[in-house]
Amino acid sequence: MGFIKNLMKEDENEIFEGSDAFYEDKLEEEETGNKMILLEPRAFSESQQIADHLKKRNTVVVNLKRVTPEQAKRIVDFLSGTIYAISGDLQKIGGGIFLCTPNNVSVQGKITGENAGKGIHDNDDIDIEW
């Protein structure tokens, strides 16, 4: 009888351990890879937060217009290292705005430079509010 009780306890432990692992895996899946994050860092110290989103396989659009040019360069350098480590991609999509993608996101097309041709309009006066 004692043998059966011990056997039952071992089975219970295995069931609970397995369900905990399943639950943790499910949480990780929900938090990763399906989001596009828009960020406007105000200091270099926020670079790690951007890198954390990329490590979770989320796409990040970074607007560097709220930091000094020196801080912007440091942030881009830091993100370049992160992007390299995860085999992702970094593209400038506007003045001080960068698209950072992990390797699970394929980006098609290119945004031309601000001074790339004739007939380019600034359009800074366009304001969209929802």
pLDDT value for 117: 59
Residues 6+ apart with CB under 8 A from 55: 82, 86, 102
What tens digit of pLDDT does each residue of 18-61 get? Answer: 545 544 444 454 556 789 999 999 999 999 999 999 999 999 99
Q: Which domains does the chain have, with CATH numbers?
A: 36-99 (3.30.110.150)
Q: Which two tokens stand for residue 126?
A: 């366009």
Q: Which residue has the higher pLDDT, 127 or 53?
A: 53
To 10 degrees, the CA torsion angle through 88, 93, 95, 101?
A: -20
